[in-house]
Amino acid sequence: MIDTIGTEVAEGEERMRLDVEHGIGVLTLCRPDRLNAWSWESTRQLGLMADRIRFDDTVRVVLLRAEGRAFCAGIDVTAPGGGITGRSGAERTRNYYEGIRWAHERFAAFARLPQPVVAAVQGYCLGFGFELALMADLRIAADDAVFALPEAQLGVAVDAGGDLRIARDAGAGWAKYLALTGRRIDAAKAERLGLVQEVVPVGELAAAARATAASIAANAPLAVQGIKRAVDAYADAAMAGALERAAMTAALTLTSEDAREGYAAKAARRSADFGGR
């Protein structure tokens, strides 16, 4: 696993960058050649950015966007530290559990920012990419956006709370439908389910998302932040306990034989043969 303690980002290793413009903190996923695929290092940098944004009173709203043709295509299985080891199955499970809990803490720092977050989503928004978008307060999607939680197809559980946030926003049935089948939905369906607040043509995404962010930035910061806290307190009342259960389920499935089979099958472009082990 990568160094989870450092506060520096090596030149050329940036997964995201932050630019502050007219009260808007523009947080950009900047690895378009990898379809902005996610890694432990991405999680570390998200936590660093959240800490920087939180205490910057020039940032009234965050615009989360991505370079290239995809918002985030999911986990980068080729990234360093992707596989956690251990001297036994039990220790490896424990190490995964602690790693996921560490990641949840960084995601919470981002999701609980005092400033609202507006996500601009284009292209593939899969797996963790979908989960990251769901951590935002509002989502504006291009009409080419595609959403899915394909983890079960690989033999692992949804580990960052995406299914829980879908249950919160669209209902338990849709959360189970998307997470249990792994099926993809388009932007129009995501909007009908309440997972996206607005759908626009691809060429209009940047302007539409920025306009929404600007309208929030123009409002009174104390009122805006108080509204966010109040709504989140109601909507996320059961989130902490559910995420703790999700961390353990993810740790168990990530160390299972089914996960090994799922990733091998995907690499070989064949159907997986899961045995429940």
User: What's the rounded Cα separation, in Å, for the pair 169 and 179?
Assistant: 14
> Per the residue annotation, which of 41, 151, 257, 261 is the catalytic one?
151
Sign of CA dihedral 77, 79, 81, 87: positive
- CA distances (Å), origin 143, targets 71, 184, 198: 13, 14, 10
Tokens of 102: 């560490």
Question: Is the Cβ–Cβ distance between 45 and 109 less than 8 Å?
Answer: no
Tokens of 67: 């370079």
> Per the residue annotation, which of 131, 191, 244, 261 is the catalytic one?
131
- CA distances (Å), origin 137, targets 142, 237, 247: 17, 16, 23
User: What's the rounded Cα separation, in Å, for the pair 6 and 135?
Assistant: 24
Q: Is 198 considered catalytic here? A: no
215: region left, alpha or beta (phi > 0 left; psi from -120 to 50 alpha): alpha
Q: Which residues contact 269 (CB under 8 A, 6 or more apart)?
A: none
Q: Is 131 considered catalytic here? A: yes
Positions marked catalytic: 131, 151
